[in-house]
C-alpha cells in the first residue's frame, strides 16, 4: 500500500493563505516528517485560512512512505514540537493508524496540533487561533486528514 498526498486549493471552506513565514514553517515541518518515513515517496505542505474567526490559520505538513512503528513515529512527531503539550490520543478516522492532539501557546496564537501516523504516511494539522480552543478538533481533524491522504493499493514503489 502506498499513499498519494494532495493539497487542494480549498480545504473544506478554507482557502489557501499566503503568509511567507508560515509557508516556510510548514515546508520545514514536512521535510522533518519526511525523515521519519522509509522509502519516502512524497512530502507536502500548505497553509490555509481559518474556517471561522476563532481560527487564524490551519497549517498542514505531511509525508508519505513506509512506517514500521506507528506509535513510536507519532511520539517522535510530538517530541519535535516541544511547545505542544497535553497530548491525548484521538480517533484516527477511517484511514486508520494512530492519532493524537495536543495544545500549546506560541505568541500571539494558541496552538492545537493533531498528528497521525499510519503504515503509509505521517502528518500534522495545526490550528493557530487568537483564543484557546475548547477541546480537540476531532471530526474537523479527521475530515482534513481525509482530504490530504489518498491510499493507493499496489506494489511498494521500489518494485
Order of strands across the sheet that contains 98-106: 38-49, 57-66, 121-129, 109-117, 98-106, 84-90
First to last CA, the chain: 12
Q: What average pLDDT does this structure show over 108-135?
A: 89
Region 56-65: mean pLDDT is: 92
The predicted structure's pLDDT at residue 115: 96
Q: What is the mean pLDDT of residues 115-138?
A: 87
Residue 23 belongs to a domain with what CATH number?
A: 3.30.2030
Q: Which domain holds residue 86?
A: 2-149
- Which pLDDT belongs to residue 28? 95
* Residue 13, domain member (yes or no): yes
The reported pLDDT for the residue numbered 21 is 92
120 within some domain: yes
Q: Which band of pLDDT confidence, cut at 50, 70 and 90, is reported for residue 159? A: very low
Whole-Å CA distances, 133 to 2, 56, 84, 100, 140 = 34, 12, 14, 16, 13
Q: Is residue 158 part of a domain?
A: no
Instruction: Examine the pLDDT at 158 and tell me if it is beyond 60.
Output: no
Has residue 159 been placed in a domain?
no
Please say whether the dihedral angle defined by the alpha carbons of residues 78, 51, 149 and 22, taken in this order, is positive or negative: negative
Q: What is the pTM of this model?
A: 0.88
| Mean pLDDT over each residue of the chain, to the nearest integer | 86
The count of domains in the chain is: 1
Residue 31's Cβ-count burial label (10 Å; 0-12, 13-18, 19+) is middle
Amino acid at each position: 500500500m502506498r499513499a498519494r498526498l494532495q493539497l487542494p486549493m480549498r480545504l473544506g471552506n478554507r482557502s489557501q493563505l499566503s503568509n511567507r513565514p508560515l509557508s516556510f514553517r510548514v515546508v520545514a515541518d514536512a521535510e522533518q516528517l519526511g525523515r521519519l518515513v522509509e522509502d519516502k515517496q512524497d512530502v507536502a505542505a500548505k497553509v490555509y485560512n481559518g474556517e471561522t474567526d476563532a481560527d487564524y490559520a490551519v497549517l498542514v505538513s505531511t509525508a508519505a512512505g513506509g512506517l514500521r512503528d506507528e506509535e513510536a513515529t507519532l511520539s517522535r512527531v510530538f517530541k519535535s514540537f516541544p511547545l505542544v503539550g497535553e497530548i491525548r490520543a484521538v480517533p484516527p478516522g477511517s484511514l486508520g493508524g494512530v492519532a493524537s492532539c495536543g495544545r500549546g501557546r506560541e505568541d500571539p496564537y494558541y496552538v492545537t496540533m493533531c498528528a497521525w501516523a499510519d503504515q503509509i504516511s505521517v502528518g500534522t494539522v495545526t490550528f493557530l487561533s487568537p483564543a484557546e480552543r475548547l477541546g480537540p478538533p476531532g471530526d474537523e481533524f479527521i475530515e482534513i486528514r481525509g482530504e490530504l491522504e489518498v491510499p493507493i493499493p499496489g506494489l511498494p514503489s521500489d518494485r
